[in-house]
Amino acid sequence: MSLCLSPNTRRLLQLGVVSLSLISGLALASGGGDGYRKNDKTKLAPDCAQGQVWNSAEASCGDLHSSALSDSDRTAYAYRLARAGRYQEALALLDTLRQPNTAEALNYRGYATRKLGRTDEGITYYLKSVQLDPHYAKVREYLGEAYVIKGRMDLAHEQLQSIQGLCGTACEEYRDLAEAIAHPQSL
């Protein structure tokens, strides 16, 4: 079966399809729904040698103690280190921040300390992060995971509900915490 469409209608349909493709591509490229802040640099930075940090302004690895490194770069790279299992390095890098009391820095400090087995200390950092930015879904996911580790499923479920209110049930943070609650042995 074929549709008889005028050339103008056919052209409008083609433009609509192209527009939708571009819009959905931009939404994916901007990091929408992936659980990270829009300014997250951790996915773009390559691995640097120990003692070096990705400098986004220069698009290269630079010395950890360089004054040219922004707190934003240091924070993002600390999270990258922590996600790679390099928790002590991540904490050492977070110690170099000029402004260590940001929601992201406190969240990543909580993540690294929790992964080192210091769950109560991690919870303390997560709670400080939540105070600074109650709409930060990633910290609520990690706080919920810490509560699962502590056996506080009631508090983990509270964080899951908060995440649902922030980004729905399809976002990465919701899915990851729901999985941790369903399978606590995975943490």
- Print pLDDT tens along the chain (187 aa): 444 555 555 555 454 443 443 333 333 333 333 333 334 444 556 788 888 999 988 899 989 888 889 999 999 999 999 999 999 999 999 999 999 999 999 999 999 999 999 999 999 999 999 999 999 999 999 999 999 999 999 999 999 999 999 999 999 999 999 999 999 999 9
Cα angle, residue 168 at apex, residues 152 and 146 outer, rounded to 5°: 25
Q: How far is CA 49 from the centre of its chain?
A: 23
In angstroms, the CA 152 to CA 74 distance is 32
Q: Which fold has domain 103-187?
A: 1.25.40
The domains of the chain are located at 37-100, 103-187
CA neighbours closer than 13 Å in the CB half-sphere of residue 39: 7
Tokens of residue 65, six digits: 């103690």
Which pTM does this prediction carry? 0.76
Tokens of residue 84, six digits: 């790679």
